[in-house]
Structure 1
Amino acid sequence: MTATRDPHYLGVAYHVLEIAALVAAVLLLLGLVRPGWLLAAGVALGPLLGYVLSRGPGLPYYSDDVGNWTEPLGLVSLAVEGALLLLSLPLLARSLRRRTY
């Protein structure tokens, strides 16, 4: 196990994100589109918000990335999360408009 100086809550948040992404994928595979796309949107929004907060004002006990807006891996992550958000929101809206008979 490697030691890190990051706050414990960041590691927990990453694990929660991984579990939420897996649950979203399972929901979508099972045909439960409304909760699946809703959770997928949350999986996209969480890291986007975390990126902005960690680079802007900083997070509690974590200010290492304040002002580091152009980190290459962070930018790739933003692109992937943005793509997931752009995919999930219209599909979620479509599933909400669909009537059940």
Structure 2
Amino acid sequence: MNSAYKSLVVESFEPKDTCWGLIWKLAAPQRVSQFLCLVVSDRLLINFKRSRRGLVDAATCAIYGNAEETTIHSLRDCYCARAIWGRSVPSRMQGIFFGMDLRP
């Protein structure tokens, strides 16, 4: 097996990992499962990654402006995302949800 192929397929995707099984067994549209796979594998094309590729000038959030746009910022910590989660996550769980540090 080609080493580049092996590193992309074998090492980055663990089918025995329960996370992947849970994602693909969701009773949701396939695009939701695909999005979750992008999130879990940290492959969303956010401004932080765009700036490293020279596609945008700044790695900061386009909405918030003064924070680096990472995956966790885009999905949880951005002002707009936080407002949506604030209405979705029960108030007794918000301290745990917003207090989690999910950076690798």
The TM-score, its normalising length taken from structure 1, stands at: 0.35
| Higher RCO (CA < 8 A, seq sep 6+) | 1
- Pick the structure with more helix per residue: 1
The TM-score, its normalising length taken from structure 2, stands at: 0.34
